[in-house]
Structure 1
Amino acid sequence: MTITPNLYGFATKELAQDATIAYLLAWADPAYRESHPRLHTLGSELLRSLLQTQEVDLPQIETLCIGTQVYRIDIVVLINAGERGILLIIEDKVSAQEGPNQIEGYIETAREKYSGQYDRDRLVAVYLKTGNESKASLPDKDKCGRFMRRDLLDILNRFQDTGNVIVDDFRIHLQGWEDETNRWKSASYDKWEWTQWEGFYADLEHRWDGYCAWDYIANPAGGFLACWLGLEDIETENGYATLYMQIHDAKRLTVRLGSGTAVDKVRAPFMYQVLDALNEEDSDDIRIEKAGTFRGGGAAAVANVTFDEQGPWFAVDRNGVLDMDATIERLRRLEELLQKVATRLTEQGIVS
């Protein structure tokens, strides 16, 4: 099979994606119903799905106006301009996260600039993201709809017969990203790269019953992708501090102590109290080791955690492929240990 160049191997910026989404939506115009029926249906399905993120139905389209970078809003779609019109505004992202109050700013601008051109009860704001992102950092569903790469693929994969190179290239590009993200499920952990770690964290976040979030952490060595799980509060005489797990990579899982409301930063004596409590509790096959020099800070590593004498902290089969069920079971046991330690230190009434 001959592999041809893909447009999105070159058009990697958000502006290119803005243009692509606007292009796909433009086919929803009824002017294309007869001349390009499959593309018209694709555009209509995409528009309908975006509106449904905020439970707004797509009406019969009489007029359709679409623009990109209008008043600094990534994509603006005005359906049936007038007192019964619908205004759809899209914050479009590839890899970046939402900027501070970005969607709120879009909504405020749209209300001002499009006043009188739509039904004020039918302004739909959507956060569209094709890259990988922790659910914990996504915009609140109360202020906007969410439309992710998987949602786009669910539509695009139903339209592989359009013969349109832009549609095909965009679908192939997104499917390739999705496949690479999920490759952690079949590849040995020592072959993982950044995208596979994102996929692992995303699946863990989906399956974890409790707090779980992940993001990039910058450091002088170039940074890394971290995941945080299980927030356990320790009540102290000064307020509360927080005990939690942090995944650094395949070799390092740590227990960390956050200052919470107790103090401006955790200090070595408090960290030693936590370390002693971790070692004193019955922890089955969980191995606890002091995490380097205790320097304190807003949050600091107290202990390194392992479950086997060799290999990664997570469970793998003989081919090095991660066993997710067994890995979650290990993390659950560690979470139970943190709960015991938090309860114990709270009952002791320690001073942080």
Structure 2
Amino acid sequence: MISKPNIFNFATSELSQDAILVWLLIWAESTYKETDNALHQIGQSLLQALLNTKKIKLSTIDSMVIKQQFYKIDIFIELHLKGKKIGIIIEDKVATSSHSNQLEVYLNRIKKLNYDTIVPIYLKTGFQSDFTHEIENGYHPFTLLDLLKVLDCNERSSITNNIFIDYYLYLNNLHVQYQKDKAEYEDYKDTLISKWGWWSWVGFFNDNKERFSAGTGVVPNPRENLLAFYFGGENLEVIYNSNKYKFEPYIDILFSNGNYKISYRLGVKNHPDEDKTIRDYIIDLFAPTLNSYNIDYTKPRFKKGKETIRLLEVKHSSSVKYHNDLIMFLDNIQKALKLFVSKNKVSL
């Protein structure tokens, strides 16, 4: 049997998901019980699942207003139950994660509106390994598994509505990818680095950020986002042509499109006009230390940067096959940087 095209395979944006979630929630109103009781029950179940995060029992709905992009919030629900005014914030993410202080801003805006209870929800249908940021900002994670649990109920079998059926099938296909991403994240230690994907690197970075006092993040890129891990920051001062220069060398790993690069970089915010000549001078100073640590490297094409520039690319070592090998390798290149900085303090 040939499966029919599913609209949600094409309507994959967060705005599309906002629309279907609003559509499902509207069915919770008693007005629609006679129209389609099964969809009404699912709408009620979804609303109850959201309220459960604040241990609120769904009773008869006195009134409900659902708004999209209210104060830039993806979905906002004003719900009146037994004389209580409840505000439900839903920040809806598909593949991306929350950024900057947007969650805090949304919650603070709603706090000014005098609701009896606020229910902040962070709804994520793609795999996400860590919800610390969202929880610290007062939001309850609501995952793909939570959503499927609501939709995969006794009433589902009697629903003939094509919108619901297509969305349910789409989420089940999404669940297959979710499980793959989760397995990739959890199993990276037993996988060759050459086989690592995005979530393998996320797993490695998360497990080792404390060891290296590292920062991690996603760097937006027109072609494909970059996954970054940066650590080992030092303060370096060099004298060149009788002038003193201050730089902040550090190490980073960038992963994208199936490839990773390890580099030494220079923070140049004190000298944004720094040119290739002094970059090459620093490389010449660094070279003996790198050689003593048996670190192979290449000198990349010079490219100016306002904040940082790439100093050197560290060549991959054939001995680095699994995660423990990589940890030892990173330890080694960090030791080389520390020694280089300490040796060059004499030129201050």
TM-score, length-scaled by structure 1: 0.68
| 1:149-176 Cα shifts (integer Å, max 9, x gaps) | 5344552574386033434422332343
TM-score, length-scaled by structure 2: 0.69
Alpha-carbon distance in structure 1 between the residues aligned to 2:109 and 2:56: 23
Indicate the SS of the match to 2:56. Answer: coil
Displacement of 1:303 in angstroms is 1.8
1:128 equivalent in alignment to 2:123:
yes
Structure 1 pair 69–209 and aligned structure 2 pair: CA distance change class (3 A): same
1:334 equivalent in alignment to 2:332:
no
Superposition pairs of residues 274-313 of structure 1, within 5 angstroms: 274=286, 276-281=288-293, 288-295=296-303, 297=305, 298-308=308-318
- Are the aligned partners of 1:78 and 1:88 in contact in 2 as well (CA < 8 Å)? yes
Alpha-carbon distance in structure 1 between the residues aligned to 2:134 and 2:284: 38
Structure 1 pair 213–74 and aligned structure 2 pair: CA distance change class (3 A): same
Percent identity among equivalent residues? 19
Partner of 1:8: 8
For structure 1, the residue ranges without an aligned partner over 5 or more in a row are 316-325
| 1:298-337 Cα shifts (integer Å, max 9, x gaps) | 131512321339xxxx74xxxxxxxxxx2x2233122212
Pick aligned residue for 1:246 from 240, 251, 254: 254
Superposition pairs of residues 135-146 of structure 1, within 5 angstroms: 140-145=134-139
| 1:79-124 Cα shifts (integer Å, max 9, x gaps) | 3358743211122234556576544553354345xx35x21xx223
Indicate the SS of the match to 2:225. Answer: strand
- Are the aligned partners of 1:76 and 1:89 in contact in 2 as well (CA < 8 Å)? yes
Alpha-carbon distance in structure 2 between the residues aligned to 1:167 and 1:205: 38
Superposition pairs of residues 12-51 of structure 1, within 5 angstroms: 12-29=12-29, 42-44=42-44, 46-51=46-51
Partner of 1:69: 68
1:147 equivalent in alignment to 2:134:
no
1:215 equivalent in alignment to 2:218:
yes
- Are the aligned partners of 1:61 and 1:79 in contact in 2 as well (CA < 8 Å)? no
Indicate the SS of the match to 1:233. Answer: coil
Displacement of 1:69 in angstroms is 1.7
1:173 equivalent in alignment to 2:170:
yes
Displacement of 1:252 in angstroms is 4.5
Partner of 2:281: 269
CA RMSD of aligned residues (A): 4.4
Indicate the SS of the match to 1:166. Answer: helix
**More contact order relative to length (CA 8 Å, sep ≥ 6):** 1
Alpha-carbon distance in structure 1 between the residues aligned to 2:333 and 2:54: 44
Structure 1 pair 150–268 and aligned structure 2 pair: CA distance change class (3 A): farther
Alpha-carbon distance in structure 2 between the residues aligned to 1:160 and 1:3: 24
Q: How many residues matched?
A: 317
Structure 1 pair 272–143 and aligned structure 2 pair: CA distance change class (3 A): farther
- Based on CA coordinates, which of the two structures has the bigger radius of gyration? 2
Letter of the 1:150 partner, please give it. L
Indicate the SS of the match to 2:233. Answer: strand
Alpha-carbon distance in structure 1 between the residues aligned to 2:232 and 2:45: 44
| 1:169-197 Cα shifts (integer Å, max 9, x gaps) | 223323433434627959x99xx9xxx94
* Structure that is richer in helix per residue: 2
Indicate the SS of the match to 1:224. Answer: coil
Alpha-carbon distance in structure 1 between the residues aligned to 2:82 and 2:69: 19
Displacement of 1:290 in angstroms is 1.2
For structure 2, the residue ranges without an aligned partner over 5 or more in a row are 238-245
Structure 1 pair 240–85 and aligned structure 2 pair: CA distance change class (3 A): same
Letter of the 2:265 partner, please give it. L
Alpha-carbon distance in structure 1 between the residues aligned to 2:258 and 2:327: 17
Partner of 2:340: 345
Letter of the 1:332 partner, please give it. I
- Are the aligned partners of 1:241 and 1:262 in contact in 2 as well (CA < 8 Å)? no
Displacement of 1:228 in angstroms is 1.9
